[in-house]
Structure 1
């Protein structure tokens, strides 16, 4: 239980306890404390914004919107509250109001660089309606500010791409990505070694007797590389009457670390995880997600990088269903490269890093296929968007789940979505993104050469 402070002025300490409870997967206790703080401090802007942040992390976007609206009501001139509300509204689907709020933040606080980037993602720029001149002016005014160069560079790249100015788009994108990458102490070789170590630890022999009880209702893991179509698949499946999406959870890796709390380094964690009490890990994961949903049917965990844990998932959760979404290597790599992620995915800011990571991912997925035959349902993004009904029927059939016509209209699913694809998945299924990388073929030639040398298919998701 989250301890309650002795005075109302102690809500900040209680909020700290809320965040600790969330990290430990004590979501019911965290919710109780959040409700107390909200009831007692609804006229405190900072408290309401803190609640909005916590609600967002819990996937409670409608309640997060309520808290952010309360903050803006208390402080109507606060650009911080306006920005927070706009960000929540993107998830809940109110793009018009989000656009208005981001524009207000930019007008009143033009050095809030993230607002420029976020606004650019909300709509397709047209010759009649775009922000190119304003972004260029802001970029000149910012001088050598690296934060501005990154945020405004991505914003310009997005709008130039919409306008069909592909060379200009890539110039700004490459410059912004290089600056972003230069500020990271990231080595892709470490991730490559980690994936190889995972394959060694979870060898074919170790996984040979993996239990399987998918006749029972269990979690559905939708995984793959970011920007590979995992959000679209999540929305399609979550449109089913018997399936609820919990969003991009961190609960499986957090449960793993919690059950291996005495391990301090990554290599030991990998080796320990292969030999640990897997039933205990599965129970801890299920305990955590139970506090996130009371839905009686299936629940989806859509964290893309759970592909790293497929062997562990199979051992710890015999009733889990695993859906791997794959997409053509060039389209998916370019989609990652052009995304300014809020956190994570440090390999996405360099074409060299992207190639190395994509090759290591392909090797690991090939290992999982060999070690766990028939354990995954695999979906090719290109086939899905070109023939959604057949692919969705096949997927549900392989998952052992009945057909639901609503799965063909994921854009009508009103539930919130908080990923980099939040705006795109509000539209009907389309194939306009297939082959987009060809617009940048000359610029992406080094990436294509590296992938080709590793026998990675450039156009389809097969690995």
Structure 2
């Protein structure tokens, strides 16, 4: 089962003894009929039946549960929350209401609240594996892998023959870097549920990220045997199997894209790898047409204004001056000698830098994660996903120590002990101030790349999420790149040389050993020949560069923009003098 925030929750009807027996039977009949109407999408009838229940029993929890579900389906989450809460106040041990509140908070990405409700649910229904599974999924969202593991383990004990639970446990073990254990659970899940497309897909993804491309291809092909239109598996297969000619996978992708019933959320992710396949075949006009169409789809729903980023960057420069750091660092505990942060734009060559360093026997790569972003949110706003950066100047020494502890707890739970750890979450260039305050001794490496190659690569990659709203329009990408350059110039001016290092993808490719040695030396490590053999290491790579970094350093991606030049004028204009 995919560890998405999804759970199969039954509606629990709770027998309420306050009305007479005859009234109770009528209420139960109305509730059952209302539930059926809701499932059939007859929301008007379902709501009227609930109103009839409330005439018989004004605080009936089943009625408020169903009314809340109706409001959710209609898109009014605030009203749904109020209805659930109203029912919950009068019946605090109603499993259906608790599950509904947990699901609602999860859908709103309020995972801490969701966890509290799922905990209540599992106390009321300790023998229900779905509740434990949902609790595990909520912990996953906060990357609390130990609690996710224990909750999922409880679910498996209750339902040992459910392949979705076993596959989910495999994913958690994989996140904990217990890869071989994870693969054993994936294999067990596929043997129990050989027709579960999600189990095959998740297994294939784990194999792909560890560089086992042949095995991954087999797993994705199994998924497509189960569901010939499984877009995610087709996307991954195109991504890891470079075409030499137009092939069946490309044809399958085009057929799914052309179907009128295909949702844009499926169409766009298919267009990006299809565009790359056409690019590999040197059909550049067809390739760009795919990239452009995919980004047009994404842009329709992106809530992005370049001026917000411009103001954000100016605010950071105004707040975090040399004087600020000189004064504030006196209150900061010495910390971070073991941490290496790689910052920069996406697709700038940061994965290659991380792989070179992670090949060193004393270094562990933590990959991309939300730990620093979450810690910044908690420090500045009390919320994981809201950053009020001006509040950084007000945090106490105790708050900084607590934030450091939170960050390190995630490290300890997932990674083996090492002398150095790499965090290459992009785009962390927005969070350099937090890094500097929490870990004054940490190394910060700025990864850069030719602007046109970098920006085209972003445009063709299909990044999703609010952080990447700029990436769906060539003009926005160019302007965002200039904002990033200006902010990096500021960080360079306020950080000491012993903590801040810059390296371009082009210089690394031109003189790989020389640049790699300088990089390793900056990180206070002795040179190891393993660093030049990074492509032989079976490490996890989840970024768009996962196939490239399994090869020795090469220059095949340099000048990638040139065959697309006639399509890139909006980007070139926006970049202005950033293009050398």
CA distance in structure 2 between the partners assigned to 1:163 and 1:353 by the alignment: 28
Correspondence for 1:166? 284
Q: CA shift at 1:325, angstroms?
A: 0.8
Tell me if the contact between 2:195 and 2:226 (Cα under 8 Å) persists in the aligned partners. no
SS in 1 for 2:393: helix
Larger Rg: 2
Q: List aligned pairs for 1:398-413, cutoff 5 A.
A: 398-413=522-537
Q: List aligned pairs for 1:14-413, cutoff 5 A.
A: 14-21=132-139, 26-38=144-156, 41-58=159-176, 60-127=178-245, 131-142=249-260, 145-208=263-326, 210=329, 217-262=337-382, 266=386, 269-277=388-396, 278-341=400-463, 343=465, 345-374=468-497, 375-413=499-537
Which deviates more from structure 2 when the two are superposed, residues 183-192 or residues 197-206?
A: 183-192
CA distance in structure 1 between the partners assigned to 2:206 and 2:385 by the alignment: 36
CA distance in structure 2 between the partners assigned to 1:71 and 1:336 by the alignment: 36
CA distance in structure 2 between the partners assigned to 1:387 and 1:93 by the alignment: 26
Tell me the TM-score normalised to structure 1 length. 0.89
Gaps of 5+ in 1: 459-463
Q: CA shift at 1:371, angstroms?
A: 1.2
Q: CA shift at 1:292, angstroms?
A: 2.0
- Residue 440 in 1 paired to residue 564 in 2? yes
CA distance in structure 1 between the partners assigned to 2:182 and 2:496 by the alignment: 42
Q: List aligned pairs for 1:414-425, cutoff 5 A.
A: 414-425=538-549
CA distance in structure 1 between the partners assigned to 2:407 and 2:144 by the alignment: 12
Correspondence for 2:64? none
1:19–1:79: structure 2 CA closer, same or farther, 3 Å change rule? closer
CA distance in structure 2 between the partners assigned to 1:23 and 1:346 by the alignment: 21
Gaps of 5+ in 2: 1-114
CA distance in structure 2 between the partners assigned to 1:407 and 1:119 by the alignment: 29
Q: CA shift at 1:416, angstroms?
A: 1.7
1:116–1:294: structure 2 CA closer, same or farther, 3 Å change rule? closer
Q: CA shift at 1:150, angstroms?
A: 1.4
Alignment root-mean-square deviation, CA: 2.9
1:237–1:59: structure 2 CA closer, same or farther, 3 Å change rule? same
SS in 2 for 1:436: coil
SS in 1 for 2:361: coil
Q: CA shift at 1:308, angstroms?
A: 1.2
Q: CA shift at 1:159, angstroms?
A: 1.0
Which deviates more from structure 2 when the two are superposed, residues 180-189 or residues 116-125?
A: 180-189
SS in 1 for 2:431: helix
CA distance in structure 1 between the partners assigned to 2:447 and 2:522 by the alignment: 14
CA distance in structure 1 between the partners assigned to 2:295 and 2:381 by the alignment: 35
Q: CA shift at 1:311, angstroms?
A: 1.8
Tell me if the contact between 2:376 and 2:384 (Cα under 8 Å) persists in the aligned partners. no
Tell me if the contact between 2:152 and 2:168 (Cα under 8 Å) persists in the aligned partners. no
Higher relative contact order (CA 8 A, sep 6+): 1
CA distance in structure 2 between the partners assigned to 1:151 and 1:215 by the alignment: 41
Q: CA shift at 1:216, angstroms?
A: 7.2
Q: CA shift at 1:237, angstroms?
A: 0.5
Count how many residue pairs are aligned between Structure 1 and Structure 2.
455
Tell me if the contact between 1:61 and 1:416 (Cα under 8 Å) persists in the aligned partners. no
1:411–1:142: structure 2 CA closer, same or farther, 3 Å change rule? farther
CA distance in structure 1 between the partners assigned to 2:221 and 2:307 by the alignment: 41
CA distance in structure 2 between the partners assigned to 1:12 and 1:38 by the alignment: 10
Q: CA shift at 1:448, angstroms?
A: 1.1
Q: CA shift at 1:75, angstroms?
A: 0.5
Q: CA shift at 1:437, angstroms?
A: 0.8
1:270–1:63: structure 2 CA closer, same or farther, 3 Å change rule? farther
CA distance in structure 1 between the partners assigned to 2:434 and 2:339 by the alignment: 14
Q: CA shift at 1:12, angstroms?
A: 3.1
Q: CA shift at 1:449, angstroms?
A: 1.4
Q: List aligned pairs for 1:451-462, cutoff 5 A.
A: 451-452=575-576, 455-457=577-579
Q: CA shift at 1:214, angstroms?
A: 9.0
Tell me if the contact between 1:219 and 1:320 (Cα under 8 Å) persists in the aligned partners. yes
Which deviates more from structure 2 when the two are superposed, residues 200-209 or residues 278-287?
A: 278-287
